[in-house]
Amino acid sequence: MPSRLNPYISFNGDARPAMEFYQGIFGGTLSLNSFGDFGQKDAPFADKIMHGMLETDQGYTLMAADVPPGMEYKPGNTITVSLSGDDADELRGFWDALSGGGVVSVPLEKQMWGDVFGMCTDRFGITWLVNISQQPA
């Protein structure tokens, strides 16, 4: 397998619904393994996600986990996920789904550099950048 770089998001107990939400938007194959799956079946956090991975047909890979007890969860602006390309319909569909129930900080519209760009924070607190490249005239 070639090397790859992809986001890995930490959640405070809601990794499963977050990853299912993202799978509903992007499609693909979702693999979720709980702490119980890895030998901690009687722990109070056994049903929480130790490792999750979503791999899509577009080549996106998104990984996530719940922060286990004893480790500090630090919410905030420590991760931003960027989607970019020139398939405007596909990217607008992703934008609509991600921003639904979230907060739009930059509306998805034409920007000074010529592309259509927007920034939102989804209902799980993850910030997304969407950039639709414009074809040269």
Question: Residue 126's domain is classified under what CATH number?
Answer: 3.10.180.10
CB-based contact 24:56 (threshold 8 Å) = no
Do 19 and 52 sit in the same domain of this protein?
Answer: yes
Question: For residue 46, what are the domain limits?
Answer: 8-66
Alpha-carbon torsion (117, 6, 65, 29), positive or negative: positive
Predicted local confidence at residue 3, as pLDDT = 61
In-domain check, residue 114? yes
> For residue 45, what are its two tokens?
């956090």
**94 and 61 within one domain:** no
The total number of residues written for the chain in this structure = 137
pLDDT digits (tens, 9 = 90+) for 56-66: 999 999 999 99
Phi-psi region of 24 (alpha: psi -120 to 50; beta: other; left: phi over 0): alpha
What is each CA distance from 69 to 9, 30, 66, 73, 109, in whole angstroms? Answer: 16, 24, 9, 9, 41
For residue range 88-114, what is the model confidence (pLDDT) as tens digits?
999 999 999 999 999 999 999 999 888
Inside any domain, residue 53: yes
Q: What confidence score (pLDDT) does residue 44 get?
A: 80
Examine the pLDDT at 19 and tell me if it is beyond 60: yes
For the full predicted model, state whether its pTM sits above 0.85: no
